[in-house]
Chains A and B, each alone.
Chain A
Amino acid sequence: MPISTFPARFEFLDEIRDLVARVAHEGGFTEKAIYSLQLAADEAASNIIEHAYEGVANASLQITCDMQDDELIITMRDTGKPFDASNVKHPNLKADLSKRQIGGLGVYLMRKLMDEVRYESNAKTGNLLTMIKRRG
């Protein structure tokens, strides 16, 4: 399973989305599903860069993206602040304009767009995010 290392900077989101699109395309996903996968990967990587690595310079992000049978599996490993997904409140999608919260929307979209989203934090090896999407 090839591991790609990216600098934890927003300028590299393009390359992360390209990697996911390439693997998903080869794996036979539809263009619509590829867009969803790119969006989920972007939201995940953006969260790591913005929150896990907040205030950290020269950090990096290790990503794998592979097909296993009919599943596309994306993993992202970082050594930033641990992420507690249970702390992320479900955004209120019915709230009116003035009360609408944008925080938590990234995680919400990831969960909606992928079939499985798992977080693991380990003091030694850091944080590991695993996202799985089955080919429909």
Chain B
Amino acid sequence: MEITTQEFKHCDLFKVQGRVDSATAPEFSKVLEKANTNGHFKLIVDMSELEYISSAGFRALLAAQRNCKRMNRGELVLVNVPERIREALELAGFTELFKTFNDPLEAVGSF
């Protein structure tokens, strides 16, 4: 798993590449938590190059979404969710917890 971060004026964009499982999810969580610690609560996770994510990764997303949405200070949104991952998110009932966009710029513009 590799994460590249891009900071915009109103939000942060995280591109997650590779695989998020129980081994790598803690690092994924840490990156999102760090953004929150720095006062950034409008987060975009770009999944275009994400090959795989297990429920450990879902847990990281859920925890981050809770923290971002607290006191209406922000939100975590998803971009370019690959078909298979979207199906797994749907199975877990997660699709209604996250707004999704097909274009990173559209997501950036939504904040």
Contact = CB atoms under 8 A, between A and B. Distances in A.
A112 interface: yes
Nearest to A10: B23
Contacts of A13: 21-23, 54
B21 A46 contact: yes
Interface stretch (B6-14, B38-46, B55-63, B102-110): B55-63
B99 interface: no
A10 B21 contact: yes
Interface of A is mostly: helix
B90 to A, nearest CB: 10
A57 interface: no
Contacts of A100: 62, 97
Nearest to B21: A13
B52 interface: yes
Nearest to B83: A32
Interface string A4-32: 00000011011001000000000000001
A94 B93 contact: yes
Given A11-B23, A49-B22, A39 B92 contact: no
